[in-house]
Chain A
Amino acid sequence: MTLVVGYAPDGRGRAVLHLAGMLARSGGDDLVLCAIVPAAWPPSPARVDAEYRAHLDREAQEALERAHERIGGNLEISTVVRHARSVPAGLLEIADQHDASLIVTGSAASGGAGTVTLGSTTSRLLHSSPLPVALAPRGFRTGADARVTRVTAAFGGSGDDLVVGAAGVAARVGARLRLASFAVHPRPPYTAGVGREADDALVREWMQEIEAAQRAALERVRDLPSVPPDCEAAVGRGETWQDALEDVDWEDGDVLAVGSSSIGPLARVFLGSRSAKIVQHSPVPAVVVPRGVAAELADEAASAA
């Protein structure tokens, strides 16, 4: 399969290269390194801006070549410079051409180190991509031969597709599987006459339910034709999303899979928030999987011999 890697032609954002390298090594995938530069404009055969665009092309090509060297290894890597009216549009076009299975991008430069931050480009990509999108946390680094060792699927208690699909992918790349659910419950600043801990019972109740759901989901995973080497479950609890995400342990080689935030029951059950929140507080690379793709992956996993 092919992974399309969006690389900013200014040469920043090595994190995305480290992530792309890790993913490609794990799945034995090809990489297409892409730089998107502004399209010819005005849309006409008159080229008053020819030198300008040639300059952009060359700079982008050089950046891609440096990136190619940086990833190194014996991966199949090709480079593409494309003119497009927007970066997401350009990446999606390339992904379509190469029949890619995943788009890999970095975090916005405005975010803090160590977490995934959605910028204008990645947000738009997440809203328009029919493919899964992998997001590297800012400053993400791996060793030269790092692989994905564990796939953590964010699990909201219903909707198995993402879990089963993630299990299929984990089994294929030889990584462990973990289900993670997050209970975010800020304590109210007022007592409302019943004390600030009044809701804690509610959260405990929810946690018991989610743990049962996790067990049920893991049962189904164990029935798959091809099972990941190890399966576990975790629940992160906290007053903020950050606390909840930090409540579960993370290791190098972890990748977090999250269902698409725009649609689906998966997003809704996270105590009234969106999976975008999970992505934005993820300390490890996150892969946002559209619901349709999750269903396909689940079918593949179920039918794999």
Chain B
Amino acid sequence: MASLEDGTTSLWQQIVRRKPVAAMTDETGTDTGEGELKRTIGLFQLSLFGIGATIGTGIFIVLTEAAPIAGPAVVWSFVFAGVVAGLTAICYAELASTVPISGSSYSYAYATLGEGVAMVVAACLLLEYGVSAAAVAVGWSQYLNEFLDNLFGFTIPNSLSNAPEADGVINLPAIVLIVLCTLLLIRGASESAKVNAAMVLIKIAVLILFVVVGVTGWNSDNLSDFTPFGLAGVTSAAGIIFFSFIGLDAVSTAGEEVKNPRRNLPLAILIALAVVTSLYVLVAFVAVAAQPLGDFEGQEAGLSAILETVTGSTWPATVLAAGAVISIFSVTLVVIYGQTRILFAMGRDGMVPPLFHRLNPRTLTPVPATIIVAVVISLLAGLLPINFLAEMTSIGTLVAFMIVSIGVIVLRQRQPELPRGFKVPLYPILPIASVAGCIWIISDLRAVTIYVFFGWSTVALLWYFFYGRRHSTLGKSS
């Protein structure tokens, strides 16, 4: 260790230094009285919020990617991914309730597990937000094409609406979507609670439409070979599908505002999970029963295409595509917003250059960060295929929440005296099951995904080694 010493602070001390909770509450204004959040959210409201934050988007995109991997047993992949997502969300709830701050899992990790871990979590969050924005944008471009085709008989040429690996040149609609969102965010646009609720309703309505119409094409022959690829198929499909459960963790961070969090937090996570998983399973069941497995491969705008085959008419597919186009736009906006604000927090901590927390004085939006994020996401969305993007998002999210689950165990050992607003039931079984579930899903992802993830983590750690630890605001102040 001696060789790594850097002045008075060793590398190890830098990696494990934690941001004092007092400094964080200072920043978030908890002590001014205004930051004190009232406990106003009940179980019903919290469950609805969880459903709203989770449902949709993913299922529009991942089903056609996951079905060929697992066969009709993709239904089980949804259940499996859902259970793991639920376990991680419950662990996250404990971590979030341990520190009286609010923020992303990056902030929680910084306060409890140290700077080095926070950096890794941040790298994962870049996948969960940035890369998922790209994946969502690619899915949007598919549904847009379907919509244009059905309504006007016009499609954007293949070379301009597909990534190079899918025989295209660049995915232009996806880039256009990201640019539009960026312009809105730079201007300081936001979405009202009403619009947000409408978007959730559109997503749910569209999925129900799919189930109701799609079930008319039920053909049991398609289900005759239910698990053609065995358990491995089910878990590796779950890796892609995990993507569609992102958002469930949002419930966990609401701890401070929830009435009786000990009871309501886990219950709300379970209720949201049950509702979302049931809907996903219904959709998946209808989809795999409606068309032979071979048809899924390479199918674009999957849910729309299935409806078209089943009904023989285009209108249900058009309605579904329209719903997807509208609601996915909203999701992209929210995800890019989240990414820029996470980078803002990192910029404040000195983990990324100060450019990322520079605000435009009129609109009070982080314009440079937004533009940089948009350029990177556009490149990803324009040039990479959707299944790779979805898997990268999944692995990032899985690793972030695996770290959170480990963090719960670490904190229970190291600081058992800390007051915890919410404690994980069945400790230590539940956090261990959560970690095991994450590892299981990760281990069945494609090798290329895992390699790229390790490469990315290495880059993040190198970045920390050469930049973050020297520029850390925390390190400078001590």
Contacts and interface: CB of A to CB of B under 8 A. Distances in A.
Contacts of B102: 47, 50
Interface in B230-256: 249-251, 253-254
Nearest to B257: A45
Given A39-B190, A48-B341, A85-B190, A56 B348 contact: no
A181 B193 CA distance: 46
B127 interface: no
Interface string A34-45: 000111011111
A58 B359 CA distance: 13
Nearest to A35: B364
A85 B35 CA distance: 18
Nearest to B41: A45
Contact of A49 (B251, B338, B362): B338
The majority secondary structure among interface residues of chain B is helix
B101 interface: yes
Contacts of A46: 53, 249-251, 253-254
B364 A57 contact: no
B344 A42 contact: no
B417 interface: no
Contacts of A45: 41, 46, 49, 250, 253-254, 257-258
Nearest to B53: A44
Counting contact residues on chain B (CB < 8 A from A), the size range is 35 or more
B29 A52 contact: no
Interface string B17-57: 00000000001110000110000010000100100110000
A54 B27 contact: yes
Nearest to B338: A48
B183 to A, nearest CB: 16
B6 interface: no
A51 interface: yes
B380 interface: no
Contact of B34 (A12, A52, A57): A57
B358 to A, nearest CB: 11
Contacts of B41: 45
Most B CB within 10 A of own CB, among A37, A51, A85: A51
A10 interface: yes
A12 B35 contact: no
A38 B366 CA distance: 12
B265 to A, nearest CB: 11
A145 B405 CA distance: 63
B327 interface: no
A9 interface: yes
B192 A85 contact: yes
A196 interface: no
A55 interface: yes
Interface in B313-345: 334, 337-338, 341-342, 344-345
B88 interface: no
B425 interface: no
B345 A51 contact: yes
B107 interface: yes
Given A38-B364, A41-B191, A50 B101 contact: yes
A159 B362 CA distance: 39
Interface of B: 27-29, 34-35, 41, 46, 49, 52-53, 101-104, 107, 188, 190-193, 196, 249-251, 253-254, 257-258, 334, 337-338, 341-342, 344-345, 348, 357, 359, 361-362, 364-366
24 contacts: A10-B362, A41-B190, A41-B191, A41-B337, A42-B191, A42-B337, A44-B52, A45-B49, A45-B253, A46-B250, A47-B103, A48-B103, A48-B253, A50-B104, A51-B27, A51-B107, A51-B345, A54-B35, A55-B27, A55-B357, A56-B359, A58-B29, A81-B34, A85-B192
Given A46-B53, A50-B104, 11 more contacts: A38-B190, A42-B337, A43-B196, A44-B254, A45-B49, A45-B250, A47-B253, A48-B338, A51-B348, A55-B357, A81-B34
The 4 A-B pairs at the shortest CB distance, nearest first, are namely: A45-B254, A46-B250, A49-B341, A10-B361
